[in-house]
Amino acid sequence: MKKSISIIIFNVFVYNFCAAHINQVIVPMAGLGTRLLPITKAAPKSMVALIDKPALHYIVDEALQSNMNDLCFIINENEYEAIANYFSPNPELDAILSERNKLHLLKEVNSLISRAQFTYIVQPQPLGLGHAVLMGKPFIRPYSFFGVMLPDNIIETDTPHMEDLIALAEMYNASIITIEEITYDQASQYAVVIPKSFLTEDLIEVEDIIEKPQVAGDTLCLGQMGRHVFSYDIFESLEAIEPGVGNEIQLTDAVRHMIQNGQRVLAYKLKGNRYDIGNIKGLLEATVTLALHNPLYRPMLCSIFKEEMSKN
């Protein structure tokens, strides 16, 4: 993508401002993916392959399963071409595959394309996750709720996790973040939630949230994960806060600002498996595990493992 690309590539639609359903989602992915180098030297980290599909395909599929069909990708200027080509119709390729009776190879991605709307916003500099989300403000319907999904996190659940978050946000009229139990040794890698009260076994009223705290211990704590539903008020908080950890605009600090200013924020425990594909270990784990859970690829992978193990 060249310098001449505008900061916002925007699709205009007529919206019903009274619509209650939450169907918009911001997907921030403008980071450089340094933990995955050299893979990400020429390819966006969100397009890294997981078995037979890029990681971002799984995110779009999860959104659509949760009835969220209006997606905004926050990208860096070098990512646009690869991502837009994947999530756009290609009549020429379709025609060739049709002639060869292979159109089924694109059936899944073509289905995603036909059911979703995509908007692209370029983040000129990597100034933090909070800054990336703030760049999506022109995309979001004023005073509505919307989702935020981080493509570094691939989630495998029986029912769509975002669908659960939407239902809870609508029920309690509150922003809601996803949490998972982590050890204190892991806390410095996450934003850690301090509970105020437990509404249910898995749903928490948040007292405070701290970005990457420096603590130690062997007990469990609650770390924030990459799926959220926010009220429009998050933008006011993002505009009010100063740069935090890493001299970046932290989404966590904006959530904290909301709580301190009387906004209700809940936290919901993830029910399922989460794979952090932002590093090589997580990428390998996701690839192998998802393949083992797929009836099409499990026999193939088991055969490969068996053959390799027999050599040793």
Q: How do residues 95-148 score in pLDDT, each as one tens digit?
A: 999 999 999 999 999 999 999 999 999 998 888 999 999 999 999 999 999 999
Averaged pLDDT, 59-64: 96
Q: Is 276 helix (H, G, I), strand (E, B) or coil?
A: strand
- How far CA 212 is from CA of 130, 216, 298, in Å, comes to 15, 12, 37
Q: How far apart are CA 239 and CA 236, in angstroms?
A: 5
DSSP symbol at 39:
G
Q: Is the CB of residue 115 less than 8 Å from the CB of residue 236? A: no
- Look at residue 14 in the predicted model and tell me its pLDDT: 31
Task: Please state the domain extents for the chain.
Answer: 8-275, 279-312
Chain-centroid distance of CA 101 in Å reads 35
- Look at residue 257 in the predicted model and tell me its pLDDT: 96
Say which amino acid occupies 142. Answer: P
Cα radius of gyration rounded to whole Å, the chain? 20
pLDDT tens by residue, 235-291: 999 999 998 888 889 999 999 999 999 999 999 999 989 999 988 999 999 999 999
CATH topology classification for 8-275: Spore Coat Polysaccharide Biosynthesis Protein SpsA; Chain A (3.90.550)
- Look at residue 11 in the predicted model and tell me its pLDDT: 40
3-state secondary structure 97-153: HHHCCCHHHHHHHHHHHHHCEEEEEECCCCCCHHHHHHHCHHHCCCCCEEEEECCCE
The pair phi, psi for residue 148, each rounded to 5°, is -130, 125
- pLDDT surpassing 60 at residue 173: yes
